[in-house]
């Protein structure tokens, strides 16, 4: 990972896990907030001191980072994440796309469907590289008798969905799956298989006009899984607006239309630039178009702040 996506330890909320309740069934805002912050921490695999300091602040017994990278003509990936162990849960968290790491972009754009799994080839290849790490998380959950949560942001959310499916097929159904700005990871067959066992415990959060959460388009055969919870830009997520049924929303075309309307409103009101963000390159975030700015990590954890 690079400084495009990293934070300093002081940027992390000390109370991120204050309302985390691993015994709760279904969606909770407290769990969503905690797991979004852990998804952000998954971007820090190159900064073990930050992981250790923040993990101790949040009450974790241990957090083990993992990185699997490949540069190749047929497949390139840089799969990063964390296996996090607390007194009350085991959490598997995946980092997302880093614009400073070209392998993550190559993963995103390797969009061909894979025939055997009916999944996005780039995502599936990146996930397959960390099967041993997923098995480690499964083993830890079984050995300690703790529920397993799976989470991630962006590309990491897609990997979380595929990892949850891997866990389920290997005899360990996660307690819940939380994805933030999650792209579509498979086709109709994958969607049906996934939702049949995991749909009711999978929760996708979509902030504002987030373009990644609308891609790849359903018009070319990709489908979302689980329930969706959406909020407007700069608003807070409202638990009561979680979709009652599993959903393929949001739509790609509608997102583009909303982006054009938002841009026009910004010009008319003089509010053209989005807000800056945290980190080294945070001041430049205001120059991003809204569909990209709405996707960034701080938009999600800020929208989950009490």
Tens of pLDDT along the chain (306 residues) come to: 889 999 999 999 999 999 999 999 999 999 999 999 999 999 999 999 999 999 999 999 999 999 999 988 778 999 999 999 999 999 999 999 999 999 999 999 999 999 999 999 999 999 999 999 999 999 999 999 999 999 999 999 999 999 999 999 999 999 999 999 999 999 999 999 999 999 999 999 999 999 999 999 999 999 999 999 999 998 999 999 999 999 999 999 765 665 555 544 543 444 555 778 888 878 888 889 999 999 999 999 999 997
Beta bridge partners of residue 204, listed in sequence order: 179, 228
Phi, psi (rounded to 5 degrees) for 65: -80, 155
> Given this model, what pLDDT does residue 268 score?
47
User: Does residue 78 fall inside a structural domain?
Assistant: yes
User: Does residue 64 fall inside a structural domain?
Assistant: yes
Nearest to 180 by CA among 201, 149, 218, 151: 151
Produce one character per residue of 203-240: b if its CB has 16 or more CB atoms within 10 Å, e if not: bbbbbbbbbbbbbbebeeebbbbbbbbbbebeeebeee
Q: Is the dihedral of CA 78, 296, 231, 149 positive or negative?
A: positive
Domain count, the chain: 1
User: Does residue 219 fall inside a structural domain?
Assistant: yes
- Greatest alpha-carbon span in the chain: 59
User: Does residue 156 fall inside a structural domain?
Assistant: yes
H/E stretch holding 180 = strand 176-180
- The region that residue 230 occupies, defined by phi over 0 for left and psi between -120 and 50 for alpha, beta otherwise, is beta
Q: How far is CA 183 from the centre of its chain?
A: 9
Alpha-carbon span 229 to 36, nearest angstrom: 14
- CATH assignment at residue 28: 3.40.50.1820
User: Does residue 299 fall inside a structural domain?
Assistant: yes
Owning domain of residue 142: 9-251+292-303
Which pTM value belongs to this model?
A: 0.94
Joined together, the tokens standing for residue 208 give 């504002």
Joined together, the tokens standing for residue 5 give 């996506």
User: Does residue 117 fall inside a structural domain?
Assistant: yes
Phi, psi (rounded to 5 degrees) for 202: -115, 130
User: Does residue 272 fall inside a structural domain?
Assistant: no
Own/partner long-range contacts of 25-29 (Cβ < 8 Å, ≥24 apart) = 26/176, 26/201, 27/176, 27/203, 27/227, 27/229, 27/239, 27/242, 28/239, 29/237, 29/239, 29/304, 29/306
User: Does residue 204 fall inside a structural domain?
Assistant: yes
User: Coil, helix or strand for 14?
Assistant: coil
């Amino acid at each position: 990972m690079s400084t495009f996506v990293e934070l300093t330890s002081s940027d992390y909320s000390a109370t991120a896990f204050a309302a985390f309740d691993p015994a709760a069934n279904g969606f909770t805002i407290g769990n969503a907030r905690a797991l979004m912050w852990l998804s952000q921490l998954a971007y820090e695999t190159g900064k073990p001191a930050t992981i250790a300091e923040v993990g101790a602040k949040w009450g974790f017994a241990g957090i083990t980072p993992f990185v699997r990278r490949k540069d190749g003509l047929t497949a390139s990936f840089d799969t990063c994440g964390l296996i996090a162990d607390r007194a009350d849960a085991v959490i598997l968290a995946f980092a997302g796309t880093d614009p400073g790491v070209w392998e993550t972009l190559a993963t995103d754009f390797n969009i061909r469907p894979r025939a055997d799994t009916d999944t996005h080839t780039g995502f599936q290849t990146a996930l397959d590289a960390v099967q041993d790490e997923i098995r480690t998380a499964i083993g830890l959950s079984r050995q300690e008798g703790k529920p397993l949560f799976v989470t991630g942001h962006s590309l990491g959310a897609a990997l979380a969905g595929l990892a949850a499916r891997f866990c389920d097929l290997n005899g360990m159904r996660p307690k819940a799956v939380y994805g933030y700005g999650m792209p579509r990871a498979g086709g109709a067959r994958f969607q049906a298989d996934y939702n049949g066992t995991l749909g009711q415990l999978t929760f996708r959060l979509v902030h504002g006009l987030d373009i990644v959460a609308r891609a790849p388009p359903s018009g070319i055969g990709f489908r979302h899984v689980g329930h969706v919870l959406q909020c407007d830009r700069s608003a807070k997520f409202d638990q009561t607006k979680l979709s009652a049924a599993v959903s393929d929303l949001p739509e790609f075309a509608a997102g583009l239309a909303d982006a054009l309307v938002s841009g026009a409103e910004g010009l008319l009101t003089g509010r053209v630039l989005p807000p800056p963000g945290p980190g080294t390159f945070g001041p430049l975030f205001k120059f991003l178009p809204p569909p990209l700015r709405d996707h960034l990590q701080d938009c999600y954890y800020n929208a989950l702040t009490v």
